[in-house]
Each structure stands twice: as C-alpha cells, then as structure tokens.
Amino acid sequence: MILFLIWYAQCLPNQLFTDSTSTVLLDRDGELLGARIADDGQWRFPETKTVPPKIATCMIAFEDRNFYSHIGISLKGIGRAIVQNSKSSKIVSGGSTITMQLARIMRKNPARTYREKVLEMLLATRMELRYSKQEILALYASHAPFGNNVVGLDAASWRFFGRNSTQLSWAESATLAVLPNAPGLIYPGNNHDQLLKKRNRLLTYLFSSGKIDRTSYQLAVSEPLPDKPIPLPQLAPHLLDQLLLKGHKGKLIHSTLRKALQEKAIHQLQLHHQILSDNRIMNGAVMITDVNTGEVLAYVGNTQTHDDEHARDVNCIVAPRSTGSILKPLLYAKCLENGQLTPAMLITDIPSQFGSFAPKNYTGQFDGVVPANQALSRSLNIPMVHLISKYGVSKFRDDLRKYGLTTIRKPARHYGLSLILGGAEATLFDLNRVYTQLAQELKKGQRQEIQLMKGESVRSFEKKQLLTNRGCIYSTFEAMVEVNRPDEDNNWKLFTSSQKIAWKTGTSFGFRDAWAIGVTPDYVVSVWIGNADGEGRPGLTGVKAAAPLMFDLFRQLPTADNWFHCPKTELINASICRESGHIASELCTEVWQKQIPKTCEIAPNCPYHQRVHLDQTGKFRVDSECESVYTMQHVTRFVLPPVIERYYAINHPNYHLLPDYKPACLSKITDGAMHVVYPKSGSKIYVPVEIDGSTGQVIFEAGHRNPATHIYWHLDDYFIGETTEIHQLSLNPPGGSHTLKLIDQNGVEISIQFEILNTKK
C-alpha cells in the first residue's frame, strides 16, 4: 500500500503534454493573423486556459454529463459500458469520463484493454486532485484530436470555421464537440452524413434538456456543415518569420498589430503593386506605428504575388537598402541643434566638387544659395552635401548609430560625404523607429522602444536623454510639411490630404529604392518600394512610387485633430535677416522676428550685407586709393560672393548686381592682385602613392595681395572650396587635362590649365 501511495502521488508528470505546438500570431484583440504548423505536422495551437461556454456545454453534454459531480470516474458510465459491451460481444463503449479521456490522450492513445482502462481511472482520479474542473476541461479541449491533422479546440475552430472559438454558433460548437469521439473517421470533408447525424442528435439533447431554446435549436439544425478544412489566415507572414528567428517558435504571440488595419495596408499595397508591376517594380513593404504607444499597428513585409520568381518571401522591412534622401531631415535637425544654421539660412547650391565626389541635384539646376528649410523640402543634394561637410561625416555617422540605425556599422571614411545621399543602407524598420521616436520626443519629451508584441517591456528615457532637441525637431517637421517636388511633373500636387503631415521621400542611386515616410502626432507611416533583387527601374522614385501609397495609407487612419504643440520653452524670438535667413547683423536692412530653436542662437550673423562705397554718381564702385572719402556714397547692399551670384541672379531677377569698379580703381585692384603659386600653367603633374598604397593628394596654392580676401576655387567649373588667409587646397584630380579657376570676393578671376599624368609609382 505504501508503494502504491508513493506511485500514486508521482504518477502524473509535472507537465502532462510535451508535444510540439504551432507558432500562432494574434493581433492586439486576439484575432488570428497567422500560424506555422507544429514540428510533427499537426495543427496544434498552444494550450488554451478557458473553454467558451457554448463549447463547454456541448462537450460535457456529449462526452460526460456528470463531469462536475464525479471524481474522475463515473461508476454509472462504467456499468452502462459493461452492459453494452456484453450485449454486443465487443467493445462499443468505454464508459470514459472527460478526465479519463485526457489521461488516455496524455499516454498517446494506447491499445484499449482492461488493464489500460484501470490505469486511466487511477490517473484520472489523480488529475482531479491536481487540477480544477475548468483546468481539466481546458486541457482536454487543447489536446483532443479533431480529425485530419487538427489537434485542439482553437486549431479546429480556425481550420473548420475560420473564426475564434468564442465566436462559434451552437451548431458549430456541437460539431466540434462530437469530433473527438471518432476523429479518424468523421470530420468535415469526411463521412458528412454521419457527422450531421451526430451533431443534430447532440443539438436535440441540448434542446430537450433546456440548454437551448426552440429558436436556437431550429436555427442550429438548419446550419450546413463545413465541406472541408479551410486555410488559416496569413496576414503577417513576414512578421511571423521574424519572430520565429527571435526564438518564439511554438508560442502563442499576442502582437500589437490591428487586424483590420493590417488588411487595409495589404490591400493598398496590392492595389499599387498592380500598377507598379507594369513597370516591373515587384516588391514593397509598409509599416505603421502608433506615436503615443510606440506600438506597431501594421507590418507588411512584401507584396503578395502568386509565384516565387519575385522573392515574395523576402522580408523587405528588415532588408538593408540604400537610403537615398531619407536621412536629410536628421542632418537638418542636427545642424540646427549644433547651431550651424537657422531654419531659413542660405546655404550653397552651385556646381561643387569634394575631392573626387561631385554631387548633382535631381533637376541638374542650381540656385546659387537656397534657404536651408527649402533645401530640405525640395530635397536638393548639393546644399545637403555642403551641410554634412561642415557638420562632419564622422559626427553624423555617430548620430545615426545613436538614432538606432543598426546597419551603419562601418567607419565614417567608408561612407564619406555620400552618406547623406544614399551612400549607406538602412532598414525600413529602423527608419520607422527613428521617425517615431522623434515624434514621441516632440510630443511627450521622452522616447520609447518600438513594440511588436503586447507585454513587451517599454523603456522610457528622461528628457536629458532625448535624441534631438525638441525645438529642432519641431522646426524640422515644419520644413517637412512643405515637402514638394515641382520639378517632377507636379505629381506632388496630387497628394492632397485633410490633415497636416510631415513627410519625406527618398530615391537611391540607379532608381533601385523608393522611400516615403510621413509623420503626424498620432501615426508614422513608412513605405519602401523596389525590387528585392536590387534591379533599378525608370520612374522608381520616392515621389512617384512610394509617396502615393503612403498618402493612401494615411487615408485609412483616423485624422489627427491637432498638429504638434509648439515647444515654446525650446524656442526663442530672434531678429532674422529677411534676405539671408541668418541672424540679422547691424547692416541688414529688412529684419523680421522669427521663432527659432534656442540652439540656433549661436549661428553666425548675416555675412551678405556689406557697406559698399560708390562714386558721386552712384554708378561705380570705388575705394580710398582712387576716390576721395568725402565724395563717396556709402550704401548697404545684399551682396553674394561672385561664384554664387551668377546662379542666384538667374532665379531672382530682383537681385541687384554690384556696380562695376571705376576704371581707375579697377586697374589698381586687379593688377597683380591674385596669382597661382602652384601649379604653373601648362604643368604636368604626377599624383604620388602613399605608403599604405592609397592615392595621395597634391597641394594647390595661390597668393593674394590682401591675404584676408576670400578666394573661391573651381576645378573644371565645379566649386571645390573657399580659402582665406592661407590659400591652399589639397586635391586629387583624376588623370587628364583640367582647368583651375580662382575668383576672389571682388570678382577678380584668373585661370590656368594643367594635366594630371598616370599615378607615380
């Protein structure tokens, strides 16, 4: 007896079932988004904790009507089974309770013998001591076979009816209740008539016993049976694959996604795919995030095609792709934070060359100078390269790492100035997270990690740990609201919206990647369009391929009632030069009061308004060497450097060029004022090779009568730099003939020709 009691106490394993389970992905409300079959080829969802009332009623009525009153075995049921089996001379009834059936399922359904029956009875009584009735019923419902390769109530509900078990009717609940009785013989799609008789017999009992009323009974028996198992939803296959890689195999995953929004995002992507595929643009991805919670609401990793030719299984949300212009708002915000510029400050937009790198604007045109906020909204390349050159590639690269761009792993010298034009790769997930965190910082003064699953811990950061000054974020978003591309067939005018949206597009080199990211106080919508294999296509630009989808997605979301609140404590009122956008100097003639980020307070004062000396007629410029100070006119003018004003004047007809110098003064100013020290005209130059094997540089030098004069250097009509005091530049021109042109701030110009020979060994 002691040995028996010891065995009895330990006869149940700590965990009754160790079978592999399906990986199941649910939305925030428990709706099924997708699942992966278990390792043993069974659709077996993780265990449920509760059984819906209708199904519980049906199961107990069909399998064990005394379930709540027995202790695991039913003497009445066993006696009835003995009588039935004796009359039939074979086993036609087992007399098992639900608890005994659970014990049998736990032991993998061994052969039916009296010895096994006794063992099941002992195990059942032990289960009754360990578990409550609700727990036993839930375990049975989770592991009972329902026919074909379907195990468990939840899997059966979705496979046979396409709905959650809590949403089933009385007829559907009765159908599931009778399936475990003979799962190998009767299930939807097999032995239809027998299944219908069993179901209706159970429904008749429920009616006669008062479990359901007459109307419910009549409606239930009139419902048809499902013809066959139906496929499970596959609304977020790429997210499910990603979670499997992160170790969530065999788990029930409660995600933050909204099923209805996920379906709308899939639908919108497919609609645009039908148009884009005519141009052989085959892939796309969408991500939508809730700014207030940091939760991902929609996650569409790729278009849904009917073949494997176009890499439909690739998760384009986490695939590194060239960033194009999508990082420009981040640089703009950091330059504001660094006090390098004010929002409307003029920055250079002329043909420019930085070593061997010669960026181009999309239009091929140049403004001379352009306000920084317009350079961002128009996505001009050359001004942004000038910004990153002054800000520092290494510093910006470190900023991107802090923002959370996990693909920026290489040193700054690997990217160079092209970092701001798509010279680096990023994922849609990381970019969505960056813009979401910026919106969170502006809205709440804190940032949160982006959540994909409910129940994840959310890390909050204090204000001192913000990624970017809130005033700078606000100014950046204000500039992004004005994003447009009038140079691209005016397509941007089609993007009307009933709400204010800060948005930015990006296009990678070779038209391989099209980006669009939009931000409101409530949502961030991110879109990537392209080909997973990297094939470029004409017309694959952010504004044409990605932005229309982004705006269509915003139309599926509730409209934001308000814009971001202005962070007044992070802004100051400043006197801004109306013409230059700089903080006004004492020479600025037109000044307006503007709110700018506090960090911009240290930005340089306007350098373009100068005191100009004219002769008595006002037609010529003069200086003290050729004109009496007492006869001069002293006026203030908005004066751009000569290298810039030729481009600026084309687009600004109201810009007044300075008068020419009086002939007597001009000869004094130009005579030997500037000369090239090295190289001499007609020189042939070898470029040396450094010790490490890299190509070296040649130091070019000029001299000026007044060393403090600004000299603007051009190589083959590309602006390459500006010097003052020490007029030297280190260059590495490619092989061949070149023209070096120097223009000083007075407009004096000289040029020479030289030739670069093969690299010297």
CA distance 426 to 381: 19
Ranges for all domains in the chain classified under CATH 2.60.40.10: 672-756
User: At the topology level of CATH, where does 256-325+391-571 sit?
Assistant: Beta-lactamase (3.40.710)
Spatial neighbors of 383 by CB under 8 A, at least 6 apart, are 347, 348, 349, 370, 372, 375
Domain 672-756, what architecture? Sandwich (2.60)
Residue pLDDT, tens place only, 438-497? 999 998 776 677 888 887 755 544 444 577 999 999 999 999 998 764 334 445 445 555
Which carries the bigger pLDDT value, residue 307 or residue 462?
A: 307
pLDDT value for 458: 55
Beta strands in 234-385 (DSSP E): 252-254, 283-290, 296-300, 321-322, 346-349, 368-371
Residue pLDDT, tens place only, 607-624? 999 898 998 888 888 888
pLDDT value for 462: 42
CA distance 223 to 486: 60
Closest listed residue to residue 398, CA positions, set 383, 411, 389? 411
Residue pLDDT, tens place only, 328-372? 999 999 999 999 999 999 999 998 888 778 899 988 889 999 999
pLDDT value for 487: 39
Task: State whether residue 25 is helix, strand or coil.
Answer: strand
Residue pLDDT, tens place only, 36-65? 999 999 999 999 999 999 999 999 999 999
Residue pLDDT, tens place only, 561-581? 789 999 999 999 999 999 999
Residue pLDDT, tens place only, 623-676? 887 888 888 899 999 999 888 888 898 888 888 888 888 887 877 677 667 888
pLDDT value for 505: 95
CB 446 within 8 A of CB 461: yes
CB 302 within 8 A of CB 312: yes
Residue with tokens 């005579």: 671
Query: 309 pLDDT exceeds 80?
Result: no
**How far apart, in Å, are the Cα atoms of 579 and each of 483, 601, 609?**
21, 18, 9
Residue pLDDT, tens place only, 117-126? 899 999 999 9
The sheet that has 252-254: what strands, in order across it?
32-36, 23-26, 252-254
pLDDT band at 89 (very low <50, low <70, confident <90, very high): low
Residue pLDDT, tens place only, 395-449? 999 999 999 999 999 999 999 999 999 999 999 999 999 999 999 999 877 667 7
Q: What is the average pLDDT across 218-241?
A: 94
pLDDT above 70: percentage of residues in the chain: 92
pLDDT value for 303: 95
φ, ψ for residue 678, nearest 5 deg: -150, 135
CA distance 2 to 42: 41
CA distance 121 to 70: 12
Superfamily of domain 2-222: Biosynthetic peptidoglycan transglycosylase-like (1.10.3810.10)
Number of Cβ within 10 Å of residue 295's Cβ equals 23
pLDDT value for 642: 82
CA distance 286 to 297: 10
Residue with tokens 């037609």: 619
pLDDT band at 707 (very low <50, low <70, confident <90, very high): confident
CA distance 553 to 235: 17
Average pLDDT, the chain: 89
pLDDT value for 706: 80
Q: Which of 80-84, 182-186, 222-226, 374-378 has the lowest mean pLDDT?
A: 80-84
CB 452 within 8 A of CB 236: no
